[in-house]
Structure 1
Amino acid sequence: MNPLNHVAIIMDGNGRWGIKNKNSRNAGHKAGLKTVEKIINHSIKNKIKFLTLYAFSTENWKRPKKEITFLFQLLETFLLKRLENLNNQDIKLKIIGIKKFSKKLNQLLTLAEKKTSNNKSLQINLALNYGSKYELVDAFKKLRKNKDKISEKNINKYLQTKDIPDPDLLIRTGNTKRLSNFLLWQLAYSEIFFEKKLWPDFNEKDFNKILKKYKLIKRNFGNI
């Protein structure tokens, strides 16, 4: 059976779920947060060491200002209420992306990273204001600035995911089959599962079904 160290998830469908069930996109984001907590707990149960969640992309700034404000307020509230619990669960939080938010949220994210930095049970990489194309361009700029040789090893060194193993598995919910500028370099050999369910409807049973399927896949990495 395949070892499973790192799962990445594109949590798609919150807004559509909210419109369908509550006539409010924001209600969908709130419901999606409950799914996040379920999947975090199930990841710990399955001894997964890294969980990367695509929460807000560099392209998401195109959304209505009210929705963006609600999303970040939701994140602030979650961190204020749940940070102690995350720490008690031995969970490490790392932000990948560009920290260009309100002063309050930036400070809160920095505090969360610092407070949980020594935890070992599970590392959650929260992709906020993240875009893979920007990440790659930035890595090449740093390569040039430091006059490093262009190599796979050196590119990895300048990515926001340095010291994090590449995902073994990518899950995208919401019945959409694209990567949406997420971990384009890191997903080169990841197994990809597209799930029809919208993110708030995704549950531990669905997650477990995918994990079981993943473990039975013959992974060749270019070999026979």
Structure 2
Amino acid sequence: MTEAITDTLIKVPQHVAIIMDGNGRWAQQRGKTRVAGHKSGVESVRTSVSTAIKYGVKALTLFAFSSENWQRPEQEVSVLMDLFMFVLTREVKKLHKNDVRFQVIGDVSRFSENLQKKIKVSEDLTANNKGMVLSVAANYGGRWDIANAAKILAEKVSNNTMSVDDITEEALHQYTCLANLPELDLLIRTGGDFRISNFLLWQAAYAEFYFTETLWPDFDEQALINAMGCFDQRERRFGQTGEQIKI
């Protein structure tokens, strides 16, 4: 089945982002704790990373923990932080072996000192790798990303190193979290909801959206291929007419 679908793919998205939703509901349906759902979701992360590498995706960005997720029960947040630390410790060497460059985007200052150190060690280890870029959004919000870029520009104007007239879309883009990556092509959300939950608001301006009812722990290789197959069938016009695109 996989072979048949991928053989027909003409366009593989260069940059894919995923809102990994549905761990809690997956666990609830099976009489398990939400924590068990998050742990099961780790395997889907591994599968998505390996599948993206396999089919030539240049950048994969995963929404792991939003700035709003601090409002969840304290025990769940604590477990998520521990799980993040565990996954980094266990997986980063595998990523490095596969030439993946790893980075965390978001305000990491709220994390524990140990987790901040582990993030830095992981980023430093893979910094010179030339393969796929895996970005994990943690304590991230799209509004925060834009506001942070605007703050940097404001500081430059205040320091007289930049003129107000120099503030453009391109200038602001330069200071957003993923400015060094290809433009976002495909934004996937699992779990059945039809919203992007403050994720990559700037970057998603021209992205194709793909929503699936599949819960994150059930999102396997075929599910990602199906999403990319849907992207392959979209006509991306970027403001032009269909006739112009075909010229």
Asked if these proteins are the same fold (TM beyond 0.5), I'd say yes
Structure 1 runs, 4 residues or longer, greater than 6 Å off: none
- The answer on whether the counterparts of 1:2 and 1:217 sit within 8 Å (CA) in structure 2 is no
Q: 1:152 corresponds to which residue?
A: 169
> 1: distance between equivalents of 2:13 and 2:215?
24
Q: 2:66 corresponds to which residue?
A: 57
- The answer on whether the counterparts of 2:102 and 2:123 sit within 8 Å (CA) in structure 1 is yes
- The answer on whether the counterparts of 2:12 and 2:57 sit within 8 Å (CA) in structure 1 is no
- The answer on whether the counterparts of 1:91 and 1:116 sit within 8 Å (CA) in structure 2 is yes
Deviation at 1:138, TM superposition (A): 1.5
The residue identity in structure 2 corresponding to 1:35 is S
> For 1:214, which of 203, 206, 231 is the aligned residue?
231
Counterpart secondary structure, 1:82: helix
Aligned: 1:113 with 2:130: no
> 2: distance between equivalents of 1:141 and 1:85?
36
Distance 1:22 1:119, change over 3 A: farther
The residue identity in structure 2 corresponding to 1:194 is F
Q: Tell me the TM-score normalized by structure 2.
A: 0.88
Deviation at 1:18, TM superposition (A): 1.3
Counterpart secondary structure, 2:61: strand
Aligned pairs (5 A) from 1:21-32? 21-32=30-41
Aligned: 1:79 with 2:96: no
> 2: distance between equivalents of 1:128 and 1:212?
28
Q: Deviations over 1:127-147 (max 9, x none)?
A: 000011111111111111101
Q: 1:132 corresponds to which residue?
A: 142
Which stretch of structure 1 is more off in the superposition, 189-198 or 79-88? 79-88
- The answer on whether the counterparts of 2:12 and 2:228 sit within 8 Å (CA) in structure 1 is no
- Structure 1: where are the runs of 5+ without partners? none
Aligned: 1:6 with 2:15: yes
> 1: distance between equivalents of 2:104 and 2:91?
16
> 2: distance between equivalents of 1:220 and 1:60?
35
The residue identity in structure 2 corresponding to 1:212 is G
Deviation at 1:43, TM superposition (A): 0.4
- The answer on whether the counterparts of 2:142 and 2:199 sit within 8 Å (CA) in structure 1 is yes
> 1: distance between equivalents of 2:150 and 2:223?
38
- Structure 2: where are the runs of 5+ without partners? 1-9, 242-247
Question: Which has the greater radius of gyration?
Answer: 2
> 1: distance between equivalents of 2:217 and 2:52?
17
Q: CA RMSD in A?
A: 1.0
Aligned pairs (5 A) from 1:160-175? 160-175=177-192
> 2: distance between equivalents of 1:66 and 1:72?
10
The residue identity in structure 2 corresponding to 1:91 is V
